[in-house]
């Protein structure tokens, strides 16, 4: 993975490259940012640059034996830990090493822009949630205590580090406190609050922000052969998430489904029609499945924020398809500076609850009751 293959983040790329040039590579780093911003891609490109034997001014050479192995995600001194769980092939004691073939295939298919839901789909784990367990920590400790095979630095990338269970985190902490020589840990996380404070305190933080509208739009134009309106809509709706932007381009019909569901849900919440709400949640929402339920809540949260823009006279900031914008013009009076924080916290908490295998039907029913009350706040 070359830095030039990664969308945006030019300042961050420069900082990472400069740290190598100045021999200031921190032994433990935390790449923190929302989904779809390229954290994993940046980590892999950084690891490749560190060990490139013919470094360029702004990127790896891409041609030396080290670069070729990194590009194939098969360098013997590049190690991965990631969430895993049982599936049809691995029925007990799952750990990252048992899924390395699937992991490499998945990263190749997504060009290293990985999401937890898509990774679980690739593993075919149905509704089970993965974790990074103590077996993963023990395996990486054993590997990193050996000498490097070829590279100057051994690099361990821990993707979705918030999925470390307590036992694994405590075991890994010993490595972070007393790291083997010439070893770099790159932890990747979307929610640092779920990481042990002792882990966070031993890492150098690198915040990876959302991509800009222009960065997403330009990348879509370069990658996909589609109309300007579709590109615009996908760039807007993605909210700086390249994974969602690509998804919207490929699944325009799904975005229309979310809009239809959102309209119905808000209508039922407004009049708090219990029979209609129960029927809607039992059928429309349940049929989405767990991962799409989270996507739908993220879509709804974006709609609420755009409604607030309209209510505050900032309609030019709303970059949505006309049918959605027209709906929000009528919906906006019910969203204000006095209730938007409550709604945002509610939706974010609901996404986390579904992520933790909460009962989606009860979560959506509880949300509906609270939204009904929040609408009354002017």
Question: DSSP assignment of 328-353, as one string?
Answer: HHHHGGG--TTTHHHHHHHHHHHHHH
- Specify if 23 maps to a domain: yes
Residue whose entry in the numeric block shows the structure tokens 């051994």: 154
- Specify if 226 maps to a domain: no
**Based on the domain organization, do 149 and 266 belong to the same domain?**
no
Q: How far apart are CA 59 and CA 3, in angstroms?
A: 6
Q: How far apart are CA 261 and CA 149, in angstroms?
A: 54
**Cβ atoms within 10 A of the Cβ of 81, count?**
26
**Based on the domain organization, do 179 and 58 belong to the same domain?**
yes
Phi, psi torsion values for 25, nearest 5 degrees: -80, 110
Report the pLDDT value the prediction gives residue 289, as an integer from 0 to 100: 80
Characterise 71 by phi-psi region: left (phi > 0), alpha (psi -120 to 50), beta (else): alpha
**Based on the domain organization, do 179 and 284 belong to the same domain?**
no
DSSP 8-state code for residue 282: I
The answer to whether the CB of 110 falls within 8 A of the CB of 102 is no
Q: What tokens appear for 350 in the block? A: 């609901």
- Specify if 319 maps to a domain: yes
Q: How far apart are CA 220 and CA 145, in angstroms?
A: 43
**Based on the domain organization, do 163 and 301 belong to the same domain?**
no
Range of the domain at 272: 251-374
Q: How far apart are CA 343 and CA 91, in angstroms?
A: 40
**Domain ends where: 153, 177, 207?**
207
Residues in the chain with pLDDT values less than 50: none
**Based on the domain organization, do 201 and 70 belong to the same domain?**
yes
**Based on the domain organization, do 177 and 305 belong to the same domain?**
no
Report the pLDDT value the prediction gives residue 254, as an integer from 0 to 100: 66
Q: What's CA 32's distance to the chain center, in Å?
A: 10
Say what the alpha-carbon torsion angle 350, 355, 359, 363 is, to the nearest 10 degrees. Answer: 10
Q: Write the DSSP assignment of 87-149 as a string of letters.
A: -SS--SS--GGGGHHHHHHHHHHHTT---HHHHHHHHT-TT---BB-HHHHHHHHHHHTSPPS
Q: How far apart are CA 181 and CA 166, in angstroms?
A: 26
Report the pLDDT value the prediction gives residue 106, as an integer from 0 to 100: 96
Per residue in 22-55, pLDDT (tens digit) is: 999 999 999 999 999 999 999 999 999 999 999 9
- Specify if 294 maps to a domain: yes
Core vs surface per residue 56-74: b (16+ CB within 10 A) or e: eeebbbbebebbebbbebe
CATH no. for residue 353? 1.20.272
CATH no. for residue 199? 3.40.50.300
**Based on the domain organization, do 275 and 184 belong to the same domain?**
no
**Helix and strand totals (H; E) in the chain:** 18, 5
Measured over the CA atoms of residue 218, residue 222, residue 228 and residue 232, the dihedral's sign is negative
Instruction: Name the β-bridge partners of 36.
Output: none
The count of domains in the chain is: 2
Residue 28 vs residues 4, 22, 163, 205: alpha-carbon distances, Å: 24, 17, 17, 9
The answer to whether the CB of 51 falls within 8 A of the CB of 29 is no
- Specify if 221 maps to a domain: no
**Based on the domain organization, do 273 and 367 belong to the same domain?**
yes
- Specify if 363 maps to a domain: yes
The answer to whether the CB of 340 falls within 8 A of the CB of 377 is no
- Specify if 337 maps to a domain: yes
Q: Is 224 exposed, middle or buried (0-12, 13-18, 19+ CB in 10 A)?
A: middle
């Amino acid at each position: 993975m070359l830095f030039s293959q990664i969308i945006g983040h030019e300042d961050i790329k420069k900082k990472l490259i400069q740290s190598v040039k100045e021999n200031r590579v921190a032994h433990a780093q935390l790449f923190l940012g929302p989904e779809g911003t390229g954290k994993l891609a940046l980590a892999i490109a950084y690891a490749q640059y560190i060990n490139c034997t013919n470094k360029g001014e702004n990127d790896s050479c891409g041609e030396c034996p080290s670069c070729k192995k990194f590009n194939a995600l098969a360098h013997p001194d590049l190690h991965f830990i990631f969430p895993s769980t049982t599936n049809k092939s691995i029925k007990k004691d799952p750990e990252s090493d048992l899924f390395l073939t699937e992991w490499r295939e998945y990263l190749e298919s997504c060009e290293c822009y990985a999401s937890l839901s898509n990774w679980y789909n690739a593993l075919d784990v149905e509704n089970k949630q993965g974790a990074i367990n103590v077996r993963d920590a023990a395996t990486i400790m054993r590997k990193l205590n050996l000498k490097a095979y070829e590279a100057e630095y051994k690099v361990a990338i821990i993707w979705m580090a918030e999925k470390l269970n307590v036992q694994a985190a405590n075991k890994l902490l010993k490595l972070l406190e007393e790291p083997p020589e010439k070893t770099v840990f790159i932890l990747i996380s979307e929610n640092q609050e779920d990481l042990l404070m002792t882990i966070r305190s031993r890492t150098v933080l690198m915040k990876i922000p959302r991509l800009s509208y222009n960065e997403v739009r330009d990348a879509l134009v370069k990658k996909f052969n589609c109309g300007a309106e579709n590109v615009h809509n996908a760039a807007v709706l993605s909210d700086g998430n390249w994974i969602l932007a690509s998804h919207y381009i490929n699944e325009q019909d799904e975005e229309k489904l979310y809009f239809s569901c959102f309209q119905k849900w808000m209508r039922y919440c407004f009049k708090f029609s219990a029979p209609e709400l129960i029927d809607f949640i039992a059928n429309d929402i349940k049929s989405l499945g767990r991962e799409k339920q989270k996507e739908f809540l993220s879509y709804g949260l974006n709609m609420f924020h755009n409604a607030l823009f309209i209510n505050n006279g900032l309609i030019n900031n709303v970059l949505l398809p006309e049918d959605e914008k027209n709906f929000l013009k009528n919906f906006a009076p019910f969203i204000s500076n006095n209730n938007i924080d409550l709604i945002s916290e509610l939706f974010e908490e609901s996404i986390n609850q579904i992520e933790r295998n909460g009962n989606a039907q009860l979560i959506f029913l509880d949300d509906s009751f609270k939204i009904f009350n929040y609408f009354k706040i002017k």
